[in-house]
Amino acid sequence: MTLDELRDKIDNIDDALLKLYNERMELVHQVGEVKNTTGAPIYRPEREQAILNRLKSQNKGKLTDAAIDALFLEMFAVARNLELPEGVAYLGPEASFTHQAAESKFGAMSAYLPISSIPGVFREVKKGTAKFGVIPIENSSNGIVSDTINCLDEYDLKIIAEVCLDVHMAFATVSDDITKITKIYSKDIAFGQCRKFLQDLGLDEVEHIPVESTVKAAKLALKDETAAALCPAVAAKLNNLPIRFNNVEDDTNNRTRFFIISDFENASSGNDKTSLLVRLSNKPGSLVNFLNDFEEAHVNLTKIKSHIVEGESIFFIEFHGHQNDAHIKPILEKHKDEIKILGSYVKEIDDI
Ligand SMILES: C=C(O[C@@H]1C=C(C(=O)O)C=C[C@H]1O)C(=O)O
């Protein structure tokens, strides 16, 4: 086929897609009307996951699973935004990893609100400035984010989804001669994450200047030919700062898990995880007794971390299943005075 013939065929497919998209949006609108009569939330992550699973299982074409996610998640986000524009507060600044996590769920059409602290994200969702909040919960190298646990304890909001991102750092500078670099800007934690790379390039001895965000690091490095930034590739691109090396972190499996919080509870998807905060009485065996109930019901516990809130020890616990599942509900009911259910949501990963 000639180029023109191929392009004619593509144009015909795009025309058909446009018609189908509009037909689909009309149906989503009708679903929205049904939801409005009952006050049900527009966003249903478990329904979106079911659609993605179905499509992936029947897919026979060139699209990979990741490509199906990318195309359809964006379409879901567009559909929801046509129904009700979504405000998404995230731990900023722009181009932070949390921003990337937010965009992976809420697409290009949502109204994003960068917030400078984790408690600030919770406050804005509670006030209703934003319908959704996105915050980090744990990193594979640095562990649990205490601020997030404290806020989950303090605020009456629900975890409605989890997102896991690979965390990669880039080394970016306007200089084309690495030996002329005299200072490196980044977040304090990132210098430690890239220590071996800096040693290998003889950059461990130059001045390391910690700044509040990697985006700020990129901005500062742009103005100075003797400076470089350690920052996510998107932060460098956003500031037109040339990337010299990609993936410079020591642990290339470095991952961060994020929670999406809102003011509603998800229905069961059949593939869920639940997070709890547990305050047990200070008696011998109370933790073992609590955990035994899960074992007896064959519930797969995936995480247990102790955490101190205002001098008091609490446990952050996660398990496979939904809070309304028949084998889980009685356990949560039995311990209702000791637990705070933080949310049940579609399981994206087994554990970080
Ligand atoms: C249309 C619905 O609402 C939203 C949009 C969806 C979609 O575009 O398919 C799916 C789930 C919801 O987030 C629905 O709940 O079915």
Q: What is the model's pLDDT at position 309?
A: 83
Q: 42: CA distance to ligand 1 center in Å?
A: 7
Q: How far apart are CA 132 and CA 103, in angstroms?
A: 12
Q: What is the model's pLDDT at position 277?
A: 97
SS3 87: strand
CATH 1.20.59.10, the chain: domain bounds: 3-82
Q: Which residue's CA lies nearest to atom 9 of ligand 1?
A: 76
Q: 247: CA distance to ligand 1 center in Å?
A: 36
- Ligand 1: residues with CB < 6 A are 28, 31, 42-44, 47-48, 51, 76, 79-80
Q: What is the model's pLDDT at position 62?
A: 97
Longest dimension (CA), the chain: 79
Overall CATH class of domain 85-167+254-264: alpha beta
Q: What is the model's pLDDT at position 335?
A: 94
Report the atom number in ligand 1 closest to the C-alpha of 28: 1
Q: Please, are residues 74 and 107 in contact by the beta-carbon 8 Å criterion?
A: yes
Burial grade of 39 (CB within 10 A; 0-12, 13-18, 19 or more)? exposed
Q: 69: CA distance to ligand 1 center in Å?
A: 15
Candidates 144, 134, 37, 46; CA nearest to 92 is 134
Report CA-CA distances (Å) from 169 to 24, 122, 232, 247. 39, 27, 5, 5
Pocket test for ligand 1, best of 27, 80, 106 (most atoms within 8 A of CB): 80
Q: 70: CA distance to ligand 1 center in Å?
A: 16
Q: Please, are residues 216 and 232 in contact by the beta-carbon 8 Å criterion?
A: no
Burial grade of 183 (CB within 10 A; 0-12, 13-18, 19 or more)? middle
Pocket test for ligand 1, best of 42, 69, 346 (most atoms within 8 A of CB): 42
Candidates 254, 269, 239, 306; CA nearest to 94 is 239
Q: How far apart are CA 36 and CA 32, in angstroms?
A: 6
Q: Which residue's CA lies nearest to atom 7 of ligand 1?
A: 76
pLDDT in tens, the chain (352 residues): 999 999 999 999 999 999 999 999 999 999 999 998 988 889 999 999 999 999 999 999 999 999 999 999 999 999 999 988 889 999 998 888 999 999 999 998 899 999 999 999 999 999 999 999 999 999 888 889 999 999 999 999 999 999 999 989 999 999 999 999 999 999 888 898 899 999 999 999 999 999 988 989 999 999 999 999 999 999 999 899 999 999 999 988 889 999 999 999 999 999 999 999 999 888 888 899 999 999 999 999 999 999 888 878 899 999 999 999 999 999 999 999 999 999 999 999 887 8
Report CA-CA distances (Å) from 228 to 9, 121, 191, 211. 47, 30, 12, 13
Report the atom number in ligand 1 closest to the C-alpha of 24: 8
Q: Which residue's CA lies nearest to atom 8 of ligand 1?
A: 76
Q: 84: CA distance to ligand 1 center in Å?
A: 12
Q: How far apart are CA 124 and CA 133, in angstroms?
A: 8
Q: How far apart are CA 139 and CA 335, in angstroms?
A: 29
Report the atom number in ligand 1 closest to the C-alpha of 79: 8
Pocket test for ligand 1, best of 74, 76, 132, 266 (most atoms within 8 A of CB): 76
158 residue type, one letter:
K
Report the atom number in ligand 1 closest to the C-alpha of 35: 15
Q: How far apart are CA 171 and CA 196, in angstroms?
A: 13
Q: What is the model's pLDDT at position 193?
A: 87
Query: What residues have CB less than 8 Å from 190, skipping those under 6 apart?
Result: 169, 214, 230, 231
Burial grade of 342 (CB within 10 A; 0-12, 13-18, 19 or more)? buried
> Hey, what CATH topology would domain 170-245 get?
D-Maltodextrin-Binding Protein; domain 2 (3.40.190)
Tokens describing residue 127: 């006030």
CATH 3.30.70.260, the chain: domain bounds: 268-352
CATH 3.40.190.10, the chain: domain bounds: 85-167+254-264, 170-245
Instruction: CATH number for 268-352: choose from 3.10.105.10, 3.30.70.260, 3.40.640.10, 3.30.930.10.
Output: 3.30.70.260
Q: 10: CA distance to ligand 1 center in Å?
A: 28
Query: What residues have CB less than 8 Å from 185, skipping those under 6 apart?
Result: 209, 210, 211, 216, 217, 218, 220, 221, 227, 228, 229, 230
Give the number of other CB atoms < 10 A from CB of residue 249: 21
Report the atom number in ligand 1 closest to the C-alpha of 45: 13
Overall CATH class of domain 3-82: mainly alpha
pTM for the whole structure: 0.87
Q: What is the model's pLDDT at position 15?
A: 98
Q: 50: CA distance to ligand 1 center in Å?
A: 10
Report the atom number in ligand 1 closest to the C-alpha of 31: 1
Query: What residues have CB less than 8 Å from 338, skipping those under 6 apart?
Result: 278, 279, 280, 281, 290
